[in-house]
């Protein structure tokens, strides 16, 4: 998920990335994000000022009473009561703007790297590198989903029932292969200078919308956690 800091500090870059990704109404959405953020900050500034004033007046009331300045003390009490009422509306407006901002941020995808080519489908992909030997398959070669079904490696239907489309259930040697691949990439990441960590499998709502990766803690979109994704890395 994009942060408000990324959007405010790199607005043009964010817009270019969203347009490259063909995100509809990118300019209008980002403008709305900035508007919500301005409203939130403006309300918060006034609220902080009022809270400071109310706190100062509250502290002075006792001293004024001791000095026999009853009228001034009553005026201070009246002002504190007035500020409390005003602050209720300010707090409500601040919370609403913050909620509207957060809800809108959830709808905005991450932006691609500048090196990612623009396109709308697989035909627009650019081949950067090909490694190993190119395999020539026979004409009767089965696609991977048919092979997975034939050798009982993946249960796509069960995955749809449990989670939804795109989340298969790996079985037998399919599960073993998946685990081996996870270990392989963890090992390769460790060789590249990363420290392996294992966070809790269950997370709170705030953590569910962001996964901190690398030492700059850049944020990604909301993701589903599974038993195979409990390992992560933090760059050292």
Task: Report the distance separating Cα 92 and Cα 47, nearest Å.
Answer: 11
Q: What is the pLDDT of residue 38?
A: 95
The residue-averaged pLDDT of 106-111 equals: 91
Indicate if the pLDDT at residue 24 is higher than 70: yes
26-66 and 11-20 helices cross at what angle (nearest 10)?
Answer: 140
Label residue 203 by pLDDT band (50, 70, 90).
confident
Indicate if the pLDDT at residue 117 is higher than 60: yes
- DSSP conformational letter for 155: E
26-66 and 70-106 helices cross at what angle (nearest 10)?
Answer: 160
Q: What is the pLDDT of residue 210?
A: 57
Q: What is the pLDDT of residue 216?
A: 34
- Taking each continuous run of H as one helix and of E as one strand, the counts in the chain are 8, 4
What domains appear along the chain, each with residue ranges and CATH number? 4-106 (1.10.287), 143-235 (no CATH)
Q: What is the pLDDT of residue 209?
A: 65
Over residues 120-176, the pLDDT tens digits come to 888 888 888 888 888 888 999 999 999 999 999 999 999 999 998 889 999 999 999
The pLDDT > 70 percentage for the chain reads 88
Indicate if the pLDDT at residue 48 is higher than 70: yes
Per-chain mean pLDDT for the chain: 85
Which residues on adjacent β-strands are paired with residue 232?
197
């Amino acid at each position: 998920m994009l942060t408000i800091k990324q959007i405010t500090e790199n607005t043009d870059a964010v817009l270019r990335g969203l347009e490259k990704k063909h995100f509809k109404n990118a300019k209008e959405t980002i403008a709305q994000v900035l508007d919500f953020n301005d409203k939130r900050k403006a309300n918060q500034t006034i609220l902080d000022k009022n809270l400071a004033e109310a706190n100062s007046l509250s502290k002075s009331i006792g001293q004024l009473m001791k000095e026999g300045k009853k009228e001034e003390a009553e005026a201070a009490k009246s002002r504190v009561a007035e500020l409390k009422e005003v602050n209720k509306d300010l707090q409500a407006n601040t919370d609403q703007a913050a909620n509207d901002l957060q809800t809108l941020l959830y709808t905005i995808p991450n932006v691609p790297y500048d090196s990612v080519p623009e396109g709308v489908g697989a035909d627009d992909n650019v081949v950067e590198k090909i490694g190993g030997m190119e395999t020539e398959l026979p004409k009767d070669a089965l696609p991977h989903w048919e092979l997975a079904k034939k050798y009982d490696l993946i249960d796509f239907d069960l995955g749809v029932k449990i989670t939804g489309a795109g989340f298969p259930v790996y079985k037998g040697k399919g599960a073993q292969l998946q685990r081996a691949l996870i270990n392989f990439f963890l090992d390769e990441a460790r060789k590249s200078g990363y420290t392996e960590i294992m966070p809790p499998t269950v997370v709170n709502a705030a953590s569910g919308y962001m996964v901190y990766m690398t030492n700059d803690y850049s944020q990604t979109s909301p993701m589903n956690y599974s038993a195979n994704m409990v390992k992560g890395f933090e760059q050292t």
